[in-house]
Amino acid sequence: MKTQEMPPGFCLGIALIDNQHARFFELMNRMIEADTRGDNRDLVAQIIAELVAYVADHFHTEEDLMARCGYPDLGEHVLLHIQFAGLVENFHTKYVNEDIGLDDEVLGYLVEWFSNHIRVEDPKYVLLARENGF
Ligand SMILES: [Fe+2]
Ligand SMILES: [Fe+2]
């Protein structure tokens, strides 16, 4: 799978969130590059563990922001976050415990899910966030 930067059109205009979103692509790229170089599995596993921590941290930031703004569809948004966090945790567990490589299909699905979430779901809280000074 090829590395990719976050497309410029993905920016929401909230620096805190945009920087975190860009970090997702940085982590995916580091993971793909480490795997392509044939570095040992420990390094790839460590980057996937960073991704797990990143996802928890980013979703916590967003949920806190939405809660502070009184965003009405917080519950629905949190369910989507839980779904993705579970996917990433499973991916980590599988990579560590089974002798599998990085699967393009799995990586592609994670990038697709996250990109779609940034383009479709996250923009829904932006107006309210701006009104609340974010
Ligand atoms: Fe997000
Ligand atoms: Fe989100």
CA of 24 to the centre of ligand 1 (A): 10
CA 114/CA 7 separation, integer angstroms: 12
CA of 14 to the centre of ligand 1 (A): 11
pLDDT grade, residue 27 (50/70/90)? very high
Task: Supply the Cα-derived Rg of the chain in whole angstroms.
Answer: 15
Please identify which residue in the block is written with the tokens 């569809």.
Answer: 73
Average pLDDT over the chain reads: 96
Domains of the chain as residue ranges with CATH = 13-131 (1.20.120.50)
pLDDT grade, residue 17 (50/70/90)? very high
For residue 39, pLDDT over 80 is answered with no
CA of 40 to the centre of ligand 1 (A): 30
Question: Which pTM value belongs to this model?
Answer: 0.95
End-to-end CA distance of the chain: 35
CA of 49 to the centre of ligand 1 (A): 18
pLDDT digits (tens, 9 = 90+) for 44-99: 999 999 999 999 999 999 999 999 999 999 999 999 999 999 999 999 999 999 98
Nearest ligand (C-alpha, residue 121): 2
